[in-house]
Amino acid sequence: MAGKTKVAVLISGRGSNMEALVRAAKAEDCPFEIALVLANKPDAGGLATAAAEGIEALCVDQKPFGKDREAHERAIDAALRERGVQVIALAGYMRILTSFLVDAWEGRMLNIHPSLLPAYPGLDTHARAIAAGEAVAGCTVHLVTAGVDEGPILGQARVPILPGDDDHSLSARVLEQEHKLYAATLAKFVGTL
């Protein structure tokens, strides 16, 4: 692909990983640009952050769609395509996707997960790793597929679990690595398109 790859970042909350991707995209040699930040909740704090950075911030509120998740995703898909988005980066997007959006963006949708997948998919990853007596935790960037947190792994970062760690202290250290890993992995990934 010629020029910078247009990336949309999907969020549900404050968007700290989105912020890390925005910072990375400012580098002249970065192969991607953040063309859109899209949230499923109007109160997602990351929308204001994106707007302050001069990035289009859009909410496609899930509430009006009720339980029709596919209809919600069709509205998201239309917004992405209208803006020429080429790759989606999920960054704290807290909805399980239907096959509609997963299939529509197959091979072009990434997610970051706060564990060393395939261990601890889903929620409460840090507490589960500590309870299991793990010595190491971390984070994973993977392609999104139909199975939750099951897609091909593109990159991982390891973080030691320290004596006395709880899910909050471990989460804070893993998040630091998430910010570095996601930007580096996304840049490498778009270079292969």
Per residue in 58-107, pLDDT (tens digit) is 999 999 999 999 999 999 999 999 999 999 999 999 999 999 999 999 99
193 vs 179: CA distance, rounded Å: 22
Based on its alpha-carbon atoms, the radius of gyration of the chain, rounded to whole angstroms, reads 16
Please state, in angstroms and rounded to a whole number, the distance separating the CA atoms of residues 148 and 13: 19
Q: Active-site residue 113, yes or no?
A: yes
What is the Cα–Cα distance from 23 to 21, expressed in whole angstroms? 5
Phi, psi of 43, deg, nearest 5:
-95, 10
Please report which confidence band the pLDDT of residue 1 belongs to, taking 50, 70 and 90 as the band edges.
very low
Say what the pLDDT of residue 90 is: 98
Chain segment 126-167, per-residue pLDDT in tens: 999 999 999 999 999 999 999 989 999 999 999 999 999 999
- Work out the burial of residue 78: count CB atoms within 10 Å of its CB; fewer than 13 is exposed, 13-18 middle, 19 or more buried: exposed
Catalytic residue among 113, 126, 142, 179: 113
